[in-house]
Structure 1
Amino acid sequence: MGTIRVVIADDHKMVREGLKQLLELDGDIQVVGEASDGEQCIQKVVDTNPDVLLLDINMPTMNGLQTLQELRRNNNKQKVLMLTIHNEIEYLLRAVDIGVNGYVLKDSESSVLKKAIYTIYQGETYIEPSLTPELKERMQSPSSSNTEILTRREIDVLKLLAEGLFNKEIAYRLSISEKTVKNHVSNIFKKISVSDRTQAAVYAIKNNFVNMF
């Protein structure tokens, strides 16, 4: 894995500086830009074309959710990790609906933040584990139609996907080929009408398929 190029968007300079020092400590992440509000963030993304955008929700001009919405409207493909103090499930669901790739709380350990960055950089999703119990409580139990649209094997794949496993890891766990996993993931997306792994993970939690938390 090469160096991951990151832009940090947060309205507090000390937070940005602290995150920059933390992320660049091991040498595999490079902070290529910083922004203090939504408009600056969008311009910085355009100018630097980072691999990952670390995005706060509370920012002036445009908040993080509005900024994410504008980036997705303009078809920006950067991976976006929301780093926020907001542990309310509504914020998480709204971010997922717009197209976020990961969601981490600011009081998480530094190892969690780095894991989230590595995970979304590789095309997977990462949702703050501490949010999943409340997320499950807020959501309805699965209806029979939710369960019946997926095969047993697709449910197995969906559960592991929701745990944050990569396709290769899912293949190993289920003793099937990585190509078969990719086919299952594609079928799952079509059946439950989602477009990415973050939305699929939320669907799994919402419909009580994930029992690990």
Structure 2
Amino acid sequence: MSLTAIRVFVADAHPIVLEGIRSVLRQHAGIEVIGESSDGLETIDKIVQLEPEVVLLDLKLPRADGLHVLRTLQTRAPKCKVILFAGSEHKEEFVEAMKLGCSGILLKDAPTSLVEKSIQKVHAGEIWLDSNTTAAVIRQFASPSDFPATHSNGKPMRERAQLSQREREIIVLIAQGYKNKEIAEKMFITEQTVKNHLHNVFDKLGVSDRLELALYAIHNSLHVKA
């Protein structure tokens, strides 16, 4: 195993799911599964003990569900990044998970290739949401009372900034959950150009990631003004 492999802990209520995830991740030299559990309370204890970098966390664990685990990890293991592993029928709980510091949400019916990809992205400091999950989170998390006054670095959100037409078009697509590559294809520009525009938008609006940008867009009606 590579010395730079991402240390991952997997928690799921079903042993057969744990076995499947372990089998998928075993194929990737850059990821090491250092522990697993099918119980919520045991998951907390093992995470504190093993100090994984990324946790793939089932929402419906026995004795302590995923939200309880997330809430506890905020104080007992604040450095680990958590990807919630849940069925699409639990979308109403995704918002609470994000408020509790969840770094990503992976649907249980997602392609197996996304397991590794989501871990890599979250480890790199990004938020992982697919287009369907992003839309669900935004719809429930975009009311004025829920919109954060500060971003994840603790800095205040900026007031409306002067955005170019192209930047507004990209914001609309971000709010709809599209990834950079998909945006580039839709707008007939390169993926690097999309990244450059996003860098400028993040700076202008004072947001630090795609989710905050999407929430800002909904809150300020930017998602319908392209």
- What is the CA distance between 1:137 and its match in structure 2? 5.5
Residues 1:139 and 1:35: Cα distance change in structure 2 (over 3 Å): closer
Q: Deviations over 1:16-39 (max 9, x none)?
A: 111011111122211000111121
2:206 to 169, 188, 203: 188
Residues 1:73 and 1:164: Cα distance change in structure 2 (over 3 Å): farther
- What is the CA distance between 1:128 and its match in structure 2? 2.6
2:38 to 36, 39, 62: 36
Residues 1:5 and 1:138: Cα distance change in structure 2 (over 3 Å): closer
Partner of 1:128: 130
Residues 1:139 and 1:68: Cα distance change in structure 2 (over 3 Å): closer
The number of residues matched between the two structures is 196
- Rounded to whole Å, the distance in 2 between the matches of 1:11 and 1:50 is 19
1:95 to 94, 97, 101: 97
Amino acid at match of 1:93: V
Identify unmatched segments of 5+ residues in structure 2: 150-157, 181-189
- Rounded to whole Å, the distance in 2 between the matches of 1:139 and 1:42 is 27
Partner of 1:192: none
- Rounded to whole Å, the distance in 2 between the matches of 1:99 and 1:36 is 21
2:15 to 13, 16, 27: 13
Q: Structure 1 length as normaliser, TM-score?
A: 0.74
Identify unmatched segments of 5+ residues in structure 1: 190-195
Partner of 1:63: 65
Do the aligned residues in 2 keep the contact of 1:6 with 1:54 (CA within 8 Å)? yes
2:179 corresponds to 1:151: no
- What is the CA distance between 1:129 and its match in structure 2? 1.9
Do the aligned residues in 1 keep the contact of 2:83 with 2:103 (CA within 8 Å)? yes
Do the aligned residues in 2 keep the contact of 1:83 with 1:105 (CA within 8 Å)? yes
- Rounded to whole Å, the distance in 2 between the matches of 1:93 and 1:34 is 25
Amino acid at match of 2:131: P
Q: Structure 2 length as normaliser, TM-score?
A: 0.70
SS in 2 for 1:31: strand
Do the aligned residues in 2 keep the contact of 1:124 with 1:164 (CA within 8 Å)? no
- Greater mean deviation of Cα atoms: 109-118 or 1-10: 1-10
SS in 2 for 1:114: helix
SS in 2 for 1:32: strand
- What is the CA distance between 1:80 and its match in structure 2? 0.4
Residues 1:6 and 1:139: Cα distance change in structure 2 (over 3 Å): closer
SS in 2 for 1:126: coil
- Rounded to whole Å, the distance in 2 between the matches of 1:123 and 1:98 is 16
Do the aligned residues in 2 keep the contact of 1:13 with 1:36 (CA within 8 Å)? yes
Identity, in percent, stands at 25
Amino acid at match of 1:31: V
Residues 1:94 and 1:25: Cα distance change in structure 2 (over 3 Å): same
